[in-house]
Structure 1
Amino acid sequence: MALYQDQQIKLYNSLSGEKEIFKPIHEGKVGMYVCGPTVYNFVHLGNCRTFISFDLIYRYLKHLGFQVRYVRNITDVGHIVDDADEGEDKIAKKARIEQIEPMEVVQKYTINFHNILKQFNNIPPSIEPTATGHIIEQIEIIQEIIRNGYGYEVNGSVYFDVEKYNQSHDYGILSGRKIEDMISNTRDLDGQSDKRNPLDFALWKNAEPQHIMRWPSPWGEGFPGWHLECTAMSTKYLGNHFDIHGGGMDLKFPHHECEIAQNEACTGNSPVNYWMHANMLTLNGKKMAKSTGNNILPEELFTGENDILSKAFSPSVARFFILQAHYRSILDFSDDAILASEKGFHRLMEAFDGIQTIETTPTSTVDIATWKQSCYNAMNDDFNSPILIAHLFEGVRIINLLKDGKEFITTQDLSILENTMKAFIFDVLGLENANLEKANNGKLENVVQMLIDMRNEARANKDFALSDQIRDRLAVLDIQLKDGKEGTTFSL
């Protein structure tokens, strides 16, 4: 029997503004789409918080035994500067500044994105589609929207008719905005005269002669609107109606609002049952911004090469810090805060390592079953990781009492304690044991040193074939040997 049959998840649905019991469309299966990055720059820590939050959700659903199809896109075209319909595509602008091809920009920053999330121990999504790989699907959706009367073409661009849509639907259903208020707060901007209404948004943009990224379409050469790509990719891989759509709080309007409108205008269906949004990460009480210098990149956090923190912090400590706050709350990042998290992280890992030293007795004086369910209750309550962590530290307290002989436990209960701690620390929270990693690295270093000694002996015996073979085989494993006056050294 799968664990999800014994656990009931309640999650906060941005669409209703309430916690709701999670009921997947298909029993035992979950379709989840999360808006990925626009790959025109290095991924920043605030972005990482969103992806770590949904990695936690993905991990817990999998832990409960759900079969999860997790789709997270790469935006590699169509995201205009300032999230508007006019101006330069962010990737094309970066390509012009760096004087390289747009796809070189995409490749560079996609690799950075993957490397950073790997260091944070995020599980890759099931599918990671790109906007440029789904131009045909986007054109087909635009054609259907036009056929249904909600889109119109002007001078090679196609716009979504928000007022027409709102006559029979609710534009603003997700963000809680009223169209009358939005209209009164908008004004006609230069270059937007093609629109019937300032609220209308681009489905397809006509490419100016200087625009690098462009594709043929029924309306001329151009490129898709930013909002359209997620509608195309989410429905292609999850169907017109799926379980969960997630992203950062800043995407609720206009991006996610437009997604709902596009899907309903195309298919007549509301696309998603549960909309979920992760909140922002601030730095020293202020919004992170490169323009003000109040910003830190993950790599700067890991290396300590920054003017904000007193030392370097491991990716796992940073992940633990992020998960100590609920995904829907604003989290402020500071040196003092992450130093405190680091101490807690090491306490947790040391306690887990100490379980092996506990001696068992015929009877237990601790209620492990109730403690175990409290861990599940925390995650069942809208994936409340800070409450889960509090219960794990209750587990730390129990472990310390058992080690000191102040409480007693049976072999069976000790196994439940260890397996529960292991499941939630490593499988659900996705933390990595620095002590175990250090021990493994120590073993690896001893093995490499043994091979270096064997290579030195081979060289002394003039067996250069064996010497070269050892060096080359280690190089394949990314272990580089360097021969110097002081002997042979290596780097992992």
Structure 2
Amino acid sequence: MALYKEQTLRIYNSLTGKKEVFEPLHQGHVGMYVCGPTVYSKVHLGNCRTFMSFDMVYRYLVHLGYRVRYVRNITDAGHLEDDADQGEDKISKKARLEKIEPMEVVQRYTVDFHNILRKFNLLPPSIEPTATGHIVEQIETIKLILQKGYAYEKNGSVYFDVLKFNKDYDYGKLSGRRIEDMIANTRDLAAQDEKNNPQDFALWKRAEPQHIMRWPSPWGEGFPGWHLECTVMSTKYLGETFDIHGGGMDLKFPHHECEIAQAEAGYGKSPVRYWMHANMLTLNGRKMAKSTGNNLLPDEIFSGENEILSKPYSPAVVRFFMMQAHYTSILDLSDEALQAAEKGYHRLMDAMELVEGLPESPASEVEVAQWRQRCYDAMNDDFNSPVLIAQLFEAVRWIHQVSEGKIRLSGEDKLLLGATLNGFVLDVLGLEKAISGSGQGQTLDGVMALLIELRNKARTDKDYTTSDRIRDALGELGIQLKDGKEGTTYSL
């Protein structure tokens, strides 16, 4: 029997502001859409956290036995500077500055995006559509919204009529904004724009002579508005109503608000049952920003080539660090936090390696089945990964106690413990052993074997000053020596 039939998953729905029991539109099947990157620069760490959060959501739904169609788009046109309806296309601007074709920009940074997510062990989505691959569908949707009377054409551009839409629907229901407040805050800008009202947003923009990326349309050459692509691609692949729509908290307004408006105007129904938003990542207590230098790229963390952190950290450690906070909470990255995460990660991995060799007893002194359900309870509570991790470390404590002969574990419970750990650590949290490249792992093993041999000789010679110095110096580097019956081993 599929696990989802015996587990009750609750999701915090940004649209209603409360946790709701998850009931997919079609039993056993889930449709999920997540807003992907605009590929004009290297993917930054905050974006990675969002995609990692929804990778965890995807993994848990699959773990529960759902068949999931996961759609995550690539924005390769139509996203203007400052997320506005004026200014230059972000990809076109990069192409102009670097004197290359826009699609060269798109290719370069799409490859970078995929490479980084692969290092973080993210699963690929079921479908990864692009905005430029769906121009025809976007034009057809604009025609439909015009036909329904919720848009107007002006000078070769088409704008969504927010005030007219708001008479029949509720514009602002996702973000909690009132149209009256929006009007009051934008009244001074009304004369500066060709829109009927400043709240209106572009469905199609006329291309100025210098605009590189352009397509023919019934309204002249131009390009689609940024918000339209997600409405078009999500409904094309998941239907006019689907289960989950995810993205960063910064997209709630205007992007997701506009998505809802476009779908309701075109199809007459609310497009999404559960809206989910991941929160931001800060660095040393401050917002990440290139302009202030308070910024880190993923590869800079992996290589250690930065002036913020004291050492390199593996993708697996960074992923574990991200999983230690709930996806809806602000998470602050710092050297101290990554060091703590690294120790926790290795302690968890070391414990998992011990499970198979644990001694078996006729009866258990720990309740593994109840612990297993507590792991599910954590994830069923809106994907509460930090509570899950706390439960995993409860198992780590048991594993060491059994290994040291302090408590007993039956063979049946040992199998259940190992399977549950593998399921949640590897399949759901998506953690994997850090792999050292270029033979570095073998080199480290060789160096450590030599140091352990020197320390053992010092202890035999009763040169405790030297033996303690070796142990303490390695400890300061994050390498722990463990003396046991089988000899001395080390862990990172």
- Provide the TM-score with structure 1 as the length reference: 0.88
Q: 1:213–1:327: structure 2 CA closer, same or farther, 3 Å change rule?
A: same
Q: Are the counterparts in 1 of residues 206 and 223 from structure 2 also a CA contact under 8 Å? A: yes
Alpha carbons 1:86, 1:192 under 8 Å: kept: no
**Which residue does the alignment assign to 1:424?**
424
**1:221 matched to which residue of 2?**
221
Q: Which residue does the alignment assign to 2:21?
A: 21
Partner of 1:108: 108
What SS does the corresponding residue of 2:292 show, helix, strand or coil? coil
2: distance between equivalents of 1:435 and 1:73? Answer: 30
| C-alpha spacing 1:102/1:345, structure 2 compared with 1 (3 Å) | same
8 Å Cα contact 1:317-1:345 kept in structure 2? yes
Aligned pairs (5 A) from 1:308-327? 308-327=308-327
Structure 1 window deviating more from structure 2 (277-286 vs 185-194): it is 185-194
Matched, 1:166 2:187: no
Task: Quote the residue 2:135 is aligned against.
Answer: 135
| Aligned partners of 1:73 and 1:230 also within 8 Å | yes
Q: 1:192 to 1:143 in 2, by over 3 A?
A: farther
Q: Which amino acid aligns with 1:342?
A: E
The answer to whether the 8 A contact 2:62-2:68 is kept is yes
Aligned to 1:406: 406
Following superposition, the deviation at residue 357 of structure 1 comes to 2.0
Given that 1:280 and 1:331 are in contact with CA atoms closer than 8 Å, whether structure 2 keeps it comes out as yes
Quote the Cα distance in structure 2 between the aligned partners of 1:193 and 1:364. 73
Q: What is aligned with 2:307?
A: 307
| Residue equivalent to 1:48 | 48
Q: Quote the residue 1:355 is aligned against.
A: 355
Kept after mapping to 1: 8 A contact 2:358/2:403: yes
User: What is the CA–CA distance in structure 2 between the aligned matches of 1:280 and 1:271, rounded to whole Å?
Assistant: 25
Contact 1:31-1:70 at 8 Å conserved across structures:
yes
| Counterpart residue identity of residue 352, structure 2 | F
For residue 405 of structure 1, report the CA deviation from its aligned partner.
1.0
Counterpart for residue 474 of structure 2: none
Secondary structure at the counterpart of residue 329 of structure 1: coil
**Secondary structure in structure 2 of the residue aligned to 1:167:** helix
SS in 2 for 1:68: strand
Q: Is the 8 A contact 1:188 1:198 kept in 2?
A: no
Please give the alpha-carbon distance, in whole angstroms, between the structure 2 residues aligned to 1:329 and 1:111.
29
Measure, in 2, the Cα distance between the counterparts of 1:70 and 1:392: 27
1:185 aligned counterpart, secondary structure: helix
How far apart are 1:194 and its partner, in Å? 1.3
Aligned partner letter, 2:101: E
SS in 1 for 2:20: strand
With over 3 angstroms needed to count, the CA separation of the structure-2 counterparts of 1:119 and 1:191, relative to structure 1, is: farther
- Deviation sequence 1:45-66 (CA, Å, 0-9, x none): 0000000000000000000000
* Runs of 5+ consecutive residues of structure 2 not aligned to the other structure: 446-492
Aligned length: 445
Q: Measure how far apart 1:192 and its partner are.
A: 4.7
Give ranges in structure 1 of 5+ residues lacking alignment: 446-492
Q: Distance in 2 between matches of 1:158 and 1:95?
A: 26
Aligned counterparts of 1:439 and 1:311: Cα–Cα separation in 2: 19
Deviation at 1:123, TM superposition (A): 0.1
Quick one: which amino acid aligns to residue 277 of structure 2?
Answer: H
Aligned residue for 2:393? Answer: 393
Contact residue 315 and residue 434 of structure 2 kept, 8 A: no
1:101-250 equivalence runs, <5 A: 101-189=101-189, 192-250=192-250
Give, in whole Å, the separation in 1 of the partners of 2:441 and 2:328.
Answer: 37
CA deviation profile, 1:331-351 (whole Å, cap 9, x unmatched): 000000110100000100011
Percent identity of paired positions between Structure 1 and Structure 2: 68
Distance in 2 separating the partners of 1:372 and 1:81: 48
CA RMSD between the two structures: 1.8
Q: Map 1:289-300; keep pairs closer than 5 Å.
A: 289-300=289-300
TM-score normalised according to structure 2 size: 0.88
Cα distance between partner residues in 1 of 2:99 and 2:188 = 34
Q: Are 2:57 and 1:89 equivalent residues in the alignment?
A: no
What are the superposed Cα offsets for residues 347-392 of structure 1, whole Å, 9 maximum, x if unpaired? 0001111112211011111100000000000000000000000000
SS in 2 for 1:406: coil
Give the distance between the partners of 1:68 and 1:304, measured in 2 at CA.
37
- 1:77-104 CA-to-partner distances (Å, cap 9, x unmatched) read 0001001100001000111111110000
Alpha-carbon distance, 1:409 to partner? 1.2
Counterpart in 1 of 2:452? none
